[in-house]
Amino acid sequence: MSYKGIQPWRAAFLAALLALPWLAHGQTKAIPRMEAIQRRDDVYLYVEGSLGVAWTVDGYGTGVNAVTQAITIRHNRPLTISFEGFDDLHKEDLFTTGTQSVPMWLQFRASTGSALLTETPLIRAEAQNGPLAYGHVFLPTDTGGQFRLEMLRTISIDAGVGAGYYRNDGRITISRF
């Protein structure tokens, strides 16, 4: 069907041409090419090191012992760290002589080598359970993509602690988002 001899598709084409901005003779206008933009974001989290420690009490006596260990964390996403299950050391031997548990104190420190990110006080182990530094978020822009988490453990042996093997299994959870 046509209107005054013009097909409808031709009328739409002419209307579109009239709507275009016209250039003077000899001018050209570049029309940008539309290209698909691709972004590949490889998420990574690497943890290197060990935080395991064992103490053996060889006999009666007194003393204080402290051990500091560290892990290195590399990341490109925000992280939080939380602790669970840390407590005093409990005797695992069959010997029932002496005290059956040894108090343990913990302190955590996170740093980038040049800057301290957060630090907890040296307090009883069970008080450290929960999010590190009240939910501190480690951003890659703050850490440079890498930081070191140090764990200081201190025990104090008194005369009532008997010989044996003492243990506590705590868990550190690293969450990225």
Residue 166's CATH number: 2.60.120
What was the pLDDT predicted at 147?
Answer: 95
CA-CA distance, 53 to 97, in Å (whole number)? 23
What was the pLDDT predicted at 70?
Answer: 93
Residue 87: which domain range?
45-176
Residue 151 within any structural domain of the chain:
yes
What was the pLDDT predicted at 22?
Answer: 57
CA-CA distance, 112 to 142, in Å (whole number)? 9
What was the pLDDT predicted at 32?
Answer: 63
pTM of the model: 0.69
What was the pLDDT predicted at 54?
Answer: 74
CA-CA distance, 19 to 47, in Å (whole number)? 61
Residue 91 within any structural domain of the chain:
yes
Across 100-137, b (16+ Cβ under 10 Å) vs e yields bebbbbbbbbbbeeeeebbebeeeebeebeeebbeeee
Q: How many domains does the chain have?
A: 1
Instruction: Count CB-CB contacts under 10 A for residue 98.
Output: 18
Within the chain, which residues score under 70 in pLDDT? 1-7, 9, 11, 13-34, 58-61, 95, 133-134
What was the pLDDT predicted at 33?
Answer: 67
Residue 23 within any structural domain of the chain:
no
CA-CA distance, 80 to 92, in Å (whole number)? 32
What was the pLDDT predicted at 91?
Answer: 84
Three-class SS state of 137:
coil
Residue 122 within any structural domain of the chain:
yes
Residue 35 within any structural domain of the chain:
no
